[in-house]
């Protein structure tokens, strides 16, 4: 996660680790919902690039 830019990392932590929805994440970070969505997409893309196939191993089976 340290390799992901700070803003993207903050969005990923709030959205996927803390479980906040887009609106609550936007409010917590003082930005728009669109910014949350774009930063989440970029952050996930960065993680996929960094982790590669290892990311597939983290997905739940089923």
Cβ–Cβ < 8 Å for 43, 4: yes
CA geometry: angle 50, 54, 59, nearest 5 deg: 115
**Domain map (residue ranges) of the chain:** 6-58
Q: Report which of 47, 56, 52, 55 is spatially closest to residue 4, judged by C-alpha positions.
A: 47
State yes or no: pLDDT of 40 exceeds 90. Answer: yes
Structurally, at CATH architecture level, domain 6-58 sits in Orthogonal Bundle (1.10)
For the entire predicted model, the pTM comes to 0.80
Q: At what angle do helices 33-51 and 22-29 cross, to 10 degrees?
A: 100
High-pLDDT (> 70) share of the chain, %? 84
Per-residue tokens: 59: 């997905």
């Amino acid at each position: 996660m340290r390799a992901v830019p700070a803003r993207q990392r903050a969005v990923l932590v709030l959205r996927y680790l803390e479980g906040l929805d887009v609106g609550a994440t936007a409010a917590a970070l003082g930005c728009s919902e669109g910014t949350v969505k774009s930063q989440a997409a970029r952050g996930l893309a960065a993680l996929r690039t960094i982790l590669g196939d290892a990311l597939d191993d983290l997905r739940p089976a089923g």
